Chain A
């Protein structure tokens, strides 16, 4: 049974030492510090110390107008900026009762799914890099560059897009973008097949991932882990399906689920998600209607007093925005529910008794983005 901890420490003596993993360690992808208590090569306790790049995004939201917070949303999780902006604008739209034109919703889905693929490609490259393989990173970044070029031609930025507005989008996509995306879909399919041959089928990767770092569905529920982590534990939990938003109900796609609950399961979930995103892209482009890209919105958005909530499926899991308004022009409270924080929370329990290199594989499979944890 995979979920049993196979390599638990059995020694009774207290000869442990403390190892600082981070805040400047290449395997932690940013400034995350993990205080490891080690018994030889085995971890007895792993205490994550987040907060090195805490930027008070929630507090910032409380002292600027609704629209002025928009640029912040791209900077929380810089790899899936589109989803985060989507959650925020959709929360405000729900609160203020703003209708979004259908074309804008389709373009939101197209750009969000492109963003999801680019985010997974970064994770793919960085994860394999953690495990000691350098080449796939360069291939993945080459592919990602094509997505960034596409999104840059539409939004004007490569990472901090800030593309959605309350009630629509800031500018329309052109035919170059549509043909570019179509070409990209055809380009990526053989590339994903190449990754399967080069990486997924590789015996070294299999040995590093299969049966390593079990995270049960129960543990996911305990810590609130979402996204590929819980889908790798056999639970088909995807906000796009369980709390449908935008035009996702009109599109046909599958939620990849693996029951092994190990690092390999989480790896395969993300690889399959890229295929599913391509499927969504194909359908959304085929269905893309003509029409306006902005709904009827007042110049300064007024949010009636109340408590509003909106969740989206970001690349790392459920991202939700809760806004509390007292009817003024600035939010009373803005709460951001970041998936990486919950996914990190289970690391302490999950890594207990693991060997250090396996724990790094586990950490990589969680796909942590540190600014997302700290916010």
Chain B
């Protein structure tokens, strides 16, 4: 009898403590944002899919088609090709295809690049129902858009 009463009392105390904490939380500021109306800022080092870095002067890609990234990639998702144009010292890139369906965003390609021609995009809205959306042509992407 005594034990039952004790349990009843401690149960009541537990209940009150819970209520007090929950009630206090009720008046606190929201921790969520109303995505997609508001969105959080991506940190500087956020790893999205890779994009080309533009040369500040010519506006072209810095890539020299050395294929280091192709070799470093653990998932074999990069295919690079380039040609050596006349009058230029280095090779320039003609094809750079990223198969994003296989990419695990490890960043090995960015790290291994000898001329720092790759960077991460901050784009994370990448949901789609079509597979070809994820075959990203980096050369075309750079030529088409401002970035």
Contact = CB atoms under 8 A, between A and B. Distances in A.
Interface string B1-28: 0000001001100100110011001000
Interface stretch (A37-45, A108-116, A149-157, A251-259): A149-157
A67 B22 CA distance: 48
B33 to A, nearest CB: 12
Nearest to A71: B106
Given A67-B108, A156-B120, A203 B43 contact: no
Nearest to A72: B74
Interface in B25-84: 25, 31, 43-47, 72-74
B108 A203 contact: no
Interface string B120-147: 1000000000000000000000000000
A135 B22 CA distance: 8
Contacts of A170: 107, 111
B105 interface: yes
B101 interface: no
Interface residues of B, number: 25
Interface of A: 64, 67-72, 75, 135, 139, 142, 145, 149, 152-157, 160, 162, 170-171, 194, 197-198, 201-204
29 contacts: A67-B72, A67-B108, A68-B72, A68-B73, A68-B108, A70-B106, A72-B74, A75-B104, A135-B22, A139-B25, A145-B31, A149-B43, A152-B43, A152-B46, A153-B44, A154-B45, A155-B45, A156-B45, A156-B46, A156-B47, A156-B107, A157-B47, A157-B105, A171-B45, A197-B17, A197-B21, A202-B14, A202-B17, A203-B10
Interface of B: 7, 10-11, 14, 17-18, 21-22, 25, 31, 43-47, 72-74, 104-108, 111, 120
